[in-house]
């Protein structure tokens, strides 16, 4: 679609006046800027977006422009995980992207500032920019400031507690491993204010991708949202908003559009950076979707090929002790990128929203040796974990297309995990078994029919992984699923199994007691059952009852259109 001229909005004097604008001033506006704003007061991740939106309107007006606000749903994974509505989270990514596209074109925008936030709005922020190629950039509302307590294993983390600590503490309380008083202290202290989940979970993974790909200003991926729930937005967020408006006008003056920035080499930079920082498995789904919008030929094996060469440098949760704001305090994502650039891992010549190249942006960023003693970011020569020890794409007779293994720097002790299948056709049934103590060392928990179609909406199995960690089973029990995982999740985890069970994938053939073999070095996931037996079992397979999805609903549309996780669950 060809970009409509903003003169259509400017000349609609009767509409402009009725909406409360001055038609004469509107006619002279230097630019009509779409402010893509996924605000809600329902949760901490995006409850600061309205204040940021109002600030942007004022800042754009000061430049002689007019900001027009476009809304979209902002779904909090923290509120939906483990509930019957969990399948709405991933679906919301594409709905939000569509909302921003519609609002931009329908209101004749010249440019776009997209405010991201919780997980799916992070991906949805980049998708319409790539799709429309309108002048624009991304602004992050910020991550949550961490908390602290003075007891148990959490005391060692200092002021770095995140929602992961509370969730694992809840599971530990259920298992009788901590007292009720200790759990209450965790609950009261873990989140002193608003913002997205505070470590290298999916929201911060996506903010990192936005910055590393060049579509967010430097230092924009790691700032805290506020200094407490009762106050306003953090001063670093306000400073980023001011700088972002200035940057937007420079982009328009210089004629630099998103697809000039979001090139194949820029995607390689983003993949490299997020691997070095220990990003979430959800990055695969979202990178594939964003690449499709940018018309960049990045597939799942290409992400694997880039990521497997990158050592783990950032000591952030879930694989380390630190929160994202600890990284921000020493310089943010540019500190990691400087180390990667110096080691030859990044393309320094790519353009960014500053109007400068990546190398120019990083020129004055201090090197690790100039930071002094710290263990938040490690050098390439002495990483937290060597390359190929974070997320890997696997295949095998259980995943003919692909699946993702998440280790987060933790290696399987013997290189290969062989376990006995415990099969569940829902997350709820798996949860009952774990809580009842029925899952023991050496089990492989198989959760199926929770994929993009089966879920529907591919919910996250994070509550199961938290239960396993909280009960001390994280290193001895594997979990495999055609669903997905939160960035909070850690352990021996395989998700995104494709094809999914509800589409006739061989995960539907697994039975209790079967042997399952995970080989990270060979990158395979196999059911140790003869091919003929798998074929015999699948011959009697029937698709799930379609009536479980209400006709005409969002899910009804989604299951008819969505691709497999192998292609990014695009619609």
The residues annotated as belonging to the active site are 486
Q: Give, in degrees to the nearest 5, the angle at Cα 356 between 353 and 358.
A: 85
Closest CA to 129 of 239, 260, 219: 260
Residue 70 has, within 13 A of its CA and on its CB side, a CA count of 29
Report the distance separating Cα 195 and Cα 124, nearest Å.
Answer: 17
Q: Give, in degrees to the nearest 5, the angle at Cα 269 between 285 and 327.
A: 90
Report the distance separating Cα 175 and Cα 445, nearest Å.
Answer: 19
Closest CA to 534 of 499, 507, 503, 497: 507
**In whole angstroms, what separates CA 60 from the centre of its chain?**
29
Report the distance separating Cα 104 and Cα 102, nearest Å.
Answer: 6
386 three-state secondary structure: coil
161 three-state secondary structure: strand
**Strand-pair category, 32-37 with 111-115:** parallel
- Whether the CB-CB separation of 65 and 57 falls below 8 Å is answered with no
Report the distance separating Cα 156 and Cα 152, nearest Å.
Answer: 8
Report the distance separating Cα 172 and Cα 432, nearest Å.
Answer: 16
**Helix ranges restricted to H, 63-176:** 77-80, 88-106, 119-132, 163-174
Q: Can you tell me which residue has the tokens 């990044």?
A: 346
Closest CA to 130 of 315, 322, 258: 258
Report the distance separating Cα 495 and Cα 402, nearest Å.
Answer: 9
| CB atoms inside a 10 Å sphere around CB 83 | 13
- Whether the CB-CB separation of 430 and 481 falls below 8 Å is answered with no
Report the distance separating Cα 464 and Cα 428, nearest Å.
Answer: 9
Tell me which DSSP letter residue 297 carries: -
Per the structure block, which two tokens stand in for 551? 């006709």
Report the distance separating Cα 331 and Cα 353, nearest Å.
Answer: 19
Closest CA to 296 of 275, 278, 271, 333: 271
Strand partners, 69: 35
Closest CA to 567 of 402, 392, 394: 402
| Alpha-carbon dihedral 454, 430, 407, 513, rounded to 10 degrees | -100
**Helix ranges restricted to H, 175-256:** 180-189, 202-212, 235-254
- Whether the CB-CB separation of 291 and 327 falls below 8 Å is answered with no
């Amino acid at each position: 679609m060809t970009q409509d001229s903003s003169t259509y909005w400017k000349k609609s004097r009767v509409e402009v006046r009725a909406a409360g604008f001055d038609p004469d001033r509107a006619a002279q506006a230097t630019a009509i800027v779409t402010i893509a704003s996924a605000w809600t007061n329902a949760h901490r991740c995006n409850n600061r977006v309205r204040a940021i939106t109002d600030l942007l309107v004022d800042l754009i007006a000061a430049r002689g422009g007019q900001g027009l606000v476009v809304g979209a749903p902002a779904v909090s994974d923290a509120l939906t995980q483990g509930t019957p509505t969990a399948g709405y989270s991933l679906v919301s990514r594409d709905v939000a992207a569509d909302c921003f596209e519609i609002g931009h074109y329908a209101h004749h925008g010249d440019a776009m500032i997209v405010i991201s936030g919780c997980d799916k709005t992070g991906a949805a922020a980049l998708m319409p920019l790539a799709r429309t190629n309108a002048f624009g950039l991304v602004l992050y509302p910020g991550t949550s400031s961490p908390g602290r307590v003075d007891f148990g294993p959490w005391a060692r983390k200092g002021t770095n507690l995140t929602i992961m600590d509370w969730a694992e503490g809840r599971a530990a309380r259920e298992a009788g491993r901590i007292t009720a008083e200790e759990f209450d202290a965790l609950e009261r202290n873990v989140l002193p204010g608003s913002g997205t989940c505070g470590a290298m979970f999916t929201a911060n993974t996506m903010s990192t991708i936005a910055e590393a790909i060049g579509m967010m200003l430097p230092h924009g991926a790691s700032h805290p949202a506020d200094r407490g729930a009762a106050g306003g937005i953090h001063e670093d967020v306000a400073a980023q908003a001011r700088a972002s408006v200035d940057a937007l006008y420079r982009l328009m003056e210089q004629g630099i559009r998103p697809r000039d920035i979001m090139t194949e080499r820029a995607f390689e930079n983003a993949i490299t950076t997020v691997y070095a920082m220990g990003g979430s498995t959800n990055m695969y789904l979202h990178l594939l979707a964003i690449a499709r919008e940018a018309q960049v030929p990045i597939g799942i094996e290409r992400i694997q090929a880039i990521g497997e060469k990158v050592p783990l440098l950032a000591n952030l949760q879930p694989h380390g002790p630190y929160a994202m704001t600890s990284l921000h305090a020493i310089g943010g994502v540019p500190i990691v990128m400087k180390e990667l650039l110096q080691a030859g891992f990044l393309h320094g010549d790519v353009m960014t929203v500053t109007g400068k190249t990546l190398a120019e942006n990083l020129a004055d960023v201090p090197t690790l040796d100039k930071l002094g003693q710290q263990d938040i970011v490690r050098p390439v020569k002495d990483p937290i974990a060597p390359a190929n020890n974070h997320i890997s794409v696997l295949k095998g007779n259980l995943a003919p297309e692909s699946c993702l293994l998440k280790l987060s720097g933790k290696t399987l002790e013997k290189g290969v995990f062989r376990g006995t299948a415990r099969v569940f056709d829902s997350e709820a049934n798996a949860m009952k078994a774990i809580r009842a103590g029925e899952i023991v060392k050496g089990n492989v928990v198989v959760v199926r029919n929770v994929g993009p179609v089966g879920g529907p909406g591919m919910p996250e199995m994070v509550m199961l992984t938290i239960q396993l960690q909280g009960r001390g089973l994280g290193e001895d029990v594997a979990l495999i699923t055609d669903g997905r995982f939160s960035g909070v999740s850690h352990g021996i985890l395989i998700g995104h199994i494709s094809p999914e069970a509800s589409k006739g994938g061989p995960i539907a053939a697994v039975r209790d007691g079967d042997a399952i073999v995970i080989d990270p070095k060979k990158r395979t996931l196999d059911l140790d059952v003869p091919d003929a037996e798998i074929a015999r079992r699948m011959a009697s397979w029937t698709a799930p009852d379609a009536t479980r999805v209400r006709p005409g609903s969002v899910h009804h549309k989604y299951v008819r259109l969505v691709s497999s996780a192998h292609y990014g669950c695009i619609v």
